[in-house]
């Protein structure tokens, strides 16, 4: 499955999304100069795709995006896309457990919002462990049956 097309990190609060960082030199769609560092960006409203240099990124999107910020935003978006894909596979394999886990997690979040504790509870941790691969696919069956039996949280 190609998830690259779905990876997009919103640039600030603009309509623009960072969809990639080019490491090879190329032409900037905005100024036409050949540049070494280029961003692939997409306008979420119009669907317009552009490849722009860092300076022109600011001119096009209205937002300054440093190389470090861009790399971090893309890494985060990639991790989210991976986690979403992993969760989708889990939900397909164990729909009953996935539905219960989401319900329980939402209830847990509501409970904890009133508490001073700001971290996720044990149910959120379990949910995140499935999403981020800490519980590998080979252990999903065991994790699902243990959860359904009330042995987690
Ligand atoms: Zn340019």
- The pTM of this model reads 0.75
**Distance between Cα 5 and ligand 1 center (Å):** 23
In a domain, 153, yes or no: no
Q: How many domains does the chain have?
A: 2
At 2, the pLDDT band (50, 70, 90 cuts) reads very low
Which whole number is the average pLDDT over 83-103? 96
Distance 59 CA to ligand 1 centre (A): 9
Q: Which domain, by its residues, includes 48?
A: 4-75
Examine residue 80 and state whether it is found in any structural domain, yes or no: no
Give the confidence band of 23 by pLDDT, cuts at 50, 70, 90.
confident
Q: Is the pLDDT of residue 153 over 80?
A: no
Q: Determine the longest span between alpha carbons in the chain, in angstroms.
A: 62
Tell me, yes or no, whether 85 lies in a domain: no
Residue 58 domain-assigned? Answer: yes
Has residue 100 been placed in a domain? Answer: yes
Q: Is the pLDDT of residue 56 over 80?
A: yes
Q: Is 67 helix (H, G, I), strand (E, B) or coil?
A: helix
Per-residue pLDDT for 93 more than 50?
Answer: yes
Measured between alpha carbons, how far is 153 from 133 in angstroms, rounded to an integer?
A: 19
Please check whether residues 15 and 66 belong to one and the same domain. yes
Residues 14 and 62 reside in one and the same domain: yes
> Could you tell me if residue 83 is inside a domain?
no
Q: How far is the CA of 33 from the centre of ligand 1 (A)?
A: 6
- pLDDT (0 to 100) of residue 3: 43
Residue 87, domain member (yes or no)? no
Q: Which of 46, 75, 104 is the last residue of a domain?
A: 75
How many other CB atoms are there within 10 angstroms of residue 64's CB atom? 12
Percent of the chain with pLDDT over 90: 80
Span from the CA of 116 to the centroid of ligand 1 (angstroms): 48
């Amino acid at each position: 499955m190609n998830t690259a097309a779905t990876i997009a990190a919103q640039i600030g609060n603009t309509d623009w999304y960072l969809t990639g960082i080019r490491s090879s030199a190329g032409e900037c769609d905005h100024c036409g100069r050949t540049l070494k560092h280029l961003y692939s960006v997409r306008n979420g409203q119009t669907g317009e795709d552009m490849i722009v240099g860092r300076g022109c990124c600011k001119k096009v999107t209205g937002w300054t995006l440093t190389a470090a910020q861009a790399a971090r935003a893309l890494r985060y978006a990639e991790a989210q896309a991976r986690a979403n894909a992993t969760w989708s596979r889990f939900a397909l394999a164990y729909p009953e457990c996935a539905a219960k886990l989401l319900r329980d997690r939402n209830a847990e979040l509501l409970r904890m919002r009133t508490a001073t504790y700001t971290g996720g509870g044990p149910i959120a941790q379990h949910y995140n462990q499935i999403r981020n691969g800490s519980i590998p696919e080979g252990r999903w069956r065991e994790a699902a049956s243990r959860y359904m039996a009330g042995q987690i949280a």
